[in-house]
């Protein structure tokens, strides 16, 4: 028997967005009741002492690096980082080695996640074999093996003909196309955004139009095929404008944005520091403002971390040669809460929705809500707890973050997956004794 009572918490009212006192009772992995002064009988009681209780966070874009890059991250360490960050479900990208382009690799990821993972892992399979953009993978077999979407993340599908074929087949199978949008003819060789910082240091830049050209092309193809088309880590104002127009036309077009693109621009890069190197790159202040406005008005649907761990040695290679990417699972919520909610850009309810209910809705997942009968994926957050971000304390193998030294409030302290503790800090489970 696995009964837990989260007592003396606060929850967000789904209709008003306001916080209200509540207990949450969990029985055998399912939320049995949400309300005031619920009975403690037969349950382990956790006094959460006024902390916020929310549905487990969902991240639809992470790199767990396994198989093939276990020196950067493993499914075990990546899901531990997810649990510590309050995430109960993560979708992992296919740019592993071997690429997740076959049922065998998808099966291997799922088996390892079941054996070693702390949170739920949903594999996303490659659109093309080895992500080379030359031959489509077997979408039906990949879906049968457990893939929940298709992406060549890390590279853009360069051929419009190939992408249209992919969309048509994916639509038949009801698989979303999750697109890394990048035209190589406009982006190849760049290491930062083609803007103020690139000009200052004479670095090769990546144009915002390199992303927007693919977004425009793909929206046309999505309209032709009817597929659910999802834009990964959107970064440019021009891309946002295109997604907004697609939504106004009623197309099945959605988009995600990362915490780092919401919080930083190329003007914030202090020097040739590879910790600020990611793809897509940090764009202009105008782009950043457009992203925030689009998140607020619903043009951008969800927030995803694009957690991309690398070794210290790799990131020490210099800004031109170091690999793209930063980690984000352990810092996403506190950074966004501190920099966007406490400053009035978003409400707390809006932030939680973009990290829970909305990604579940977009991808047809049965999680993301705190209600009776729902799976007990739950995160408890201390909104008052303030810490300094210290990469040396990360449980992820990756320490590559531009946010080292930042102060942030709103740290997850307890993460439950199907009613079982995946991560716990500062909260003691106290057996009721009845």
Catalytic residues: 306
Write out the two tokens for 381. Answer: 């957050």
Which residue(s) pair with 55 in the sheet?
378
Write out the two tokens for 433. Answer: 């004794």
Preceding omega of 253 cis (within 30 degrees of 0): no
Write out the two tokens for 45. Answer: 């009681």
Q: Is 174 labelled a binding residue?
A: no
Distance separating alpha carbons of residues 266 and 268, to the nearest angstrom: 5
Q: Is 65 labelled a binding residue?
A: yes
Q: Is 306 labelled a binding residue?
A: yes
Q: Is 189 labelled a binding residue?
A: no
Distance separating alpha carbons of residues 17 and 313, to the nearest angstrom: 45
CA–chain centroid gap for 302, Å, is: 8
Residue with tokens 């992203």: 291
Q: Is 310 labelled a binding residue?
A: yes
Residue with tokens 């093996």: 145
Residue 82 sits at the vertex; the CA angle it makes with 382 and 138, to the nearest 5 degrees, is 150
Q: Is 307 labelled a binding residue?
A: no
Q: Is 251 labelled a binding residue?
A: no
Q: Is 297 labelled a binding residue?
A: no
**What angle, rounded to 10 degrees, do the helices at 103-116 and 75-84 form?**
60
Write out the two tokens for 177. Answer: 């196309």
Cα-based distances in Å from 241 to 192, 213, 215, 383, 426: 22, 12, 10, 34, 44
Q: Is 175 labelled a binding residue?
A: no
Q: Is 345 labelled a binding residue?
A: no
Q: Is 273 labelled a binding residue?
A: no
Closest CA to 194 of 207, 213, 182: 207
DSSP H or E stretch at residue 288: helix 285-297
Distance separating alpha carbons of residues 410 and 387, to the nearest angstrom: 9
Q: Is 64 labelled a binding residue?
A: yes
Q: Is 153 labelled a binding residue?
A: yes
Distance separating alpha carbons of residues 260 and 233, to the nearest angstrom: 10
Asked whether the beta carbons of 396 and 59 are under 8 A apart, the reply is no
Which residues are documented as binding site for Zn(2+)?
Answer: 61, 63, 153, 180, 233, 306
Residue numbering of the annotated binding site for substrate = 63-65, 95, 279, 310, 324-325
Feature table: binding site: 61, 63-65, 95, 153, 180, 233, 279, 306, 310, 324-325
């Amino acid at each position: 028997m696995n009964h837990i009572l989260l007592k003396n918490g606060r929850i967000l009212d789904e209709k008003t967005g306001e916080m209200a006192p509540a207990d949450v009772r969990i029985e055998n992995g399912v939320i049995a009741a949400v309300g005031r002064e619920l009975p403690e009988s037969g349950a382990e009681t956790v006094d959460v002492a006024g902390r916020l209780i929310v549905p487990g966070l969902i991240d639809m874009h992470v790199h767990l690096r396994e198989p093939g890059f276990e020196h950067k991250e493993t499914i075990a360490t990546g899901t531990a980082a997810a649990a510590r960050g309050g995430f109960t479900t993560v979708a992992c990208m296919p740019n592993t080695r071997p690429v997740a382009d076959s049922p065998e690799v998808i099966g291997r990821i799922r088996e390892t996640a079941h054996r070693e993972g702390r949170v739920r892992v949903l594999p996303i399979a490659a659109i093309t074999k080895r992500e080379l953009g030359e031959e489509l993978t077997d979408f039906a077999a990949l879906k049968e093996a457990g893939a929940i979407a298709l992406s060549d993340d890390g590279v853009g599908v360069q051929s419009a003909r190939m992408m249209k074929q992919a969309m048509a087949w994916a639509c038949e199978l009801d698989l979303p196309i999750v697109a890394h949008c990048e035209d190589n003819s406009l982006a190849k060789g760049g290491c930062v955004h083609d803007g103020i910082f690139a000009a200052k240091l004479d670095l090769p830049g990546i144009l915002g139009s390199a992303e927007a050209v693919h977004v425009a092309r793909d929206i046309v193809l999505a309209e032709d095929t009817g597929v659910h088309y999802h834009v990964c880590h959107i970064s440019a104002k021009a891309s946002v404008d295109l997604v907004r127009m697609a939504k106004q036309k009623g197309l099945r077009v959605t988009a995600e944005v990362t915490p780092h693109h919401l919080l930083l621009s190329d003007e914030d890069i202090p020097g040739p520091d590879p910790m600020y190197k990611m793809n897509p790159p940090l764009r202009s202040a105008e782009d950043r403002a457009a992203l925030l406005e689009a998140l607020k008005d619903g043009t951008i649907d969800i927030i995803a971390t694009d957690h991309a761990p690398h070794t210290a040695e790799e990131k020490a290679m210099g800004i031109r040669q170091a690999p793209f990417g930063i980690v984000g699972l352990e810092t996403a919520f506190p950074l966004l809460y501190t920099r966007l909610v406490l400053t009035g850009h978003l409400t707390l309810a809006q932030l939680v929705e973009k990290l829970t209910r909305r990604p579940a809705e977009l991808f047809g997942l049965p999680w993301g809500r705190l209600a009776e009968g729902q799976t007990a994926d739950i995160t408890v957050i201390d909104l008052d707890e303030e810490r300094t971000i210290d990469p040396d304390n990360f449980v992820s193998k990756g320490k590559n973050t531009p946010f080292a030294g930042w102060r942030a409030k709103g740290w997850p302290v307890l993460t439950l997956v199907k009613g079982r503790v995946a991560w716990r800090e500062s909260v003691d489970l106290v057996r009721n004794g009845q």
